Amino acid sequence: MEESDAVRSFAALAQASRLRVFRALVVAGPPGLTPGVLATQLGLPPATLSFHLKELQAAGLCESTRDGRHLIYRARYGQVDSLIAYLTEHCCEGAACVVAPAGGCGC
């Protein structure tokens, strides 16, 4: 992952409603969610939700597919994995990293 891609991903997630939309897609897993379900779950107006989904797609964090008359949105787990790998690429200065009990790095 390039630095510019990481910045774009973080910028997309740096807004509370967009972060909630993304987390809902991650929780939904591979089946994904329709905009109607997302709007209901999160209490967002359809136009606002549409804007946030567009921003997440532009950052490569989610994708949509058509299923009949419905659009299904899904998190792009490969992009998320790349972002995490980018963040931890130089963890512990190249030494083996042990995860601490609280979930942090145990360097």
CB distance 58 to 76 below 8 Å: no
Output the CA torsion 66→26→52→9 (10° steps). -110
Question: pLDDT per residue over 42-82, tens digit each?
Answer: 999 999 999 999 999 999 999 999 999 999 999 999 888 88
Q: What is the pLDDT of residue 91?
A: 76
Tell me the whole-structure pTM to 2 decimals.
Answer: 0.81
Q: Average of pLDDT values for 86-103? A: 69
What SS3 class is residue 73?
strand
Q: Which of 33-37, 84-88, 93-97 has the highest mean pLDDT?
A: 33-37
Bigger pLDDT: 100 vs 26? 26
Question: pLDDT per residue over 12-30, tens digit each?
Answer: 999 999 999 999 999 999 9
| AA identity, residue 105 | C
Q: What is the pLDDT of residue 105?
A: 52
What CATH architecture is 3-94?
A: Orthogonal Bundle (1.10)
